[in-house]
Chain A
Amino acid sequence: AQSVSQHNHHVILSEAASLELGCNYSYGGTVNLFWYVQYPGQHLQLLLKYFSGDPLVKGIKGFEAEFIKSKFSFNLRKPSVQWSDTAEYFCASLYSGAGSYQLTFGKGTKLSVIP
């Protein structure tokens, strides 16, 4: 079974600071990776996903993530955060087996952006 590790439990940044959230996955064949975000009081929603091709993936709201196969990493980045980026961020990997596809999530990183 796959596992996903997120290094930081809680990150606090000032507005305009750069963001990088770490994510490592366990190797399990074909790699399909996701970042989800949950804003306060809202549903989980997809930020971006990687399945092949360019290892630098661009998502919504100025977020991007880089897949580095040699490091089993898929870190999320944003050059300049805003107060509205305050949320919890989850990294996930897709596991396929027994005729189904399952998302395995990390524990999440809470981001607090101070105005």
Chain B
Amino acid sequence: EAGVAQSPRYKIIEKRQSVAFWCNPISGHATLYWYQQILGQGPKLLIQFQNNGVVDDSQLPKDRFSAERLKGVDSTLKIQPAKLEDSAVYLCASSLTLLNLMLANNEQFFGPGTRLTVL
């Protein structure tokens, strides 16, 4: 079974530039998550989708971050304009459903992440 795919793996930009990350979840997974992991910290949830709808984006800095999952499969996360403090690894994850993650087989699978450096 193919895992969660993300691209690019690395990105270096200057502050005030724009950047976009792409995620392809595991086939058949309805729920998709974007996390931000700053160096020395654990992942922090930014947004989660159920199919093509946003379920929770309460921790997404909406003045500069946006995300979409138009057809309920792939997703893109965009930052415009980037700030120095956005330097982090951006992780995408997917799970079968939005239901309780404790249910059998409803594990959250993570992609390799995109490491963003803002200069």
Contacts and interface: CB of A to CB of B under 8 A. Distances in A.
A, B in one complex: yes
Interface of A: 4, 9, 32, 42-46, 49, 51, 90, 92, 94, 96, 98-108
B111 interface: yes
Contacts of A90: 42-43
Contact of A107 (B3, B41, B108): B41
Interface string B88-102: 000101000011111
B14 interface: no
- Top-8 shortest CB links A-B: A105-B42, A51-B102, A44-B110, A100-B56, A100-B55, A43-B110, A105-B43, A32-B102
B114 interface: no
Interface of B: 3-4, 40-45, 48, 55-56, 58, 91, 93, 98-102, 107-113
A43 B112 contact: yes
Contact of B42 (A32, A99, A108): A108
Contacts of A99: 55-56
Contacts, number: 60
Contacts of B4: 43
Contact of A94 (B3, B41, B55, B102): B102
Nearest to B95: A101
B56 A102 contact: yes
Contacts of B108: 46, 103
Nearest to A92: B42
Contacts of B93: 44
B19 to A, nearest CB: 21
- Among B4, B58, B91, B99, residue most surrounded by chain A Cβ atoms (within 10 Å): B58
Nearest to B44: A105
Contacts of B48: 100, 102
Given A9-B40, A92-B42, A101-B100, 15 more contacts: A4-B42, A32-B102, A46-B107, A94-B102, A100-B48, A100-B98, A101-B98, A103-B101, A104-B45, A105-B43, A107-B41, A107-B42, A108-B40, A108-B41, A108-B42
24 contacts: A32-B102, A43-B4, A43-B111, A44-B91, A46-B107, A51-B102, A90-B42, A90-B43, A92-B42, A94-B101, A98-B56, A98-B58, A99-B55, A100-B55, A101-B98, A101-B100, A102-B48, A103-B101, A104-B45, A106-B42, A107-B41, A107-B42, A108-B40, A108-B42
